[in-house]
Copies of this chain bind each other. A is one copy, B any other.
Amino acid sequence: MRLSDLVTELGGILKGEDRVVSGASTLEEASSDEITFLANPKYRDRVKTSRAGAIIVAHEIETAIPQIITKDPYLYFARVVSLVYPDETPEPGISPLACIHPDASVDAGACIYPHVNVGAGARVSKGCIIYPGCYLGANVTIGDQTVCYPNVVIYDGCTLGSNCIIHSGVVIGSDGFGFVWDGSRHVKIPQKGIVIIGDHVEIGSNCTIDRAALTSTRIGSGVKMDNLIQVGHNVVIGEHTIIVSQTGISGSAQIGSNVVLAGQCGIGGHITIGDGCVAAARAGIASDLAAGSVVSGFPAMDHRHWLRVQKVYKDLPEMLKRIRSLERRLESIGKD
A positions within 8 Å CB-CB of B: 24-26, 29, 72, 74-75, 77-79, 81-82, 85, 87, 97, 99, 113-115, 117, 131-133, 135, 149-151, 153, 155, 165, 167-169, 171, 174-175, 177, 179-182, 185-190, 192, 200, 202, 204-206, 208, 210, 214-215, 222, 224, 226-228, 230, 232, 240, 242, 244-246, 248, 250, 263-264, 266, 268, 281-282, 284, 286, 298-299, 301, 305, 308-314, 316-317, 319-320, 322-323, 326-327, 329-330, 333-334
Complex-state Cα separation, A232 to B39, whole angstroms? 21
Complex-state Cα separation, A133 to B137, whole angstroms? 13
Beyond A185-B240, A186-B224, A327-B326, whether A151 also contacts B135 by CB under 8 A is yes
Query: How far does the Cβ of A179 sit from chain B's closest Cβ, in whole Å?
Result: 6
Query: How far does the Cβ of A56 sit from chain B's closest Cβ, in whole Å?
Result: 12
Query: How far does the Cβ of A25 sit from chain B's closest Cβ, in whole Å?
Result: 5
Beyond A316-B313, A323-B322, A323-B323, whether A204 also contacts B177 by CB under 8 A is yes
Query: How far does the Cβ of A140 sit from chain B's closest Cβ, in whole Å?
Result: 12
Residue numbers in B under 8 Å from A151 (CB-CB): 133, 135, 151, 153, 169
Name, among A167, A226, A326, the residue most crowded by chain B CB atoms within 10 Å (CB to CB).
A226
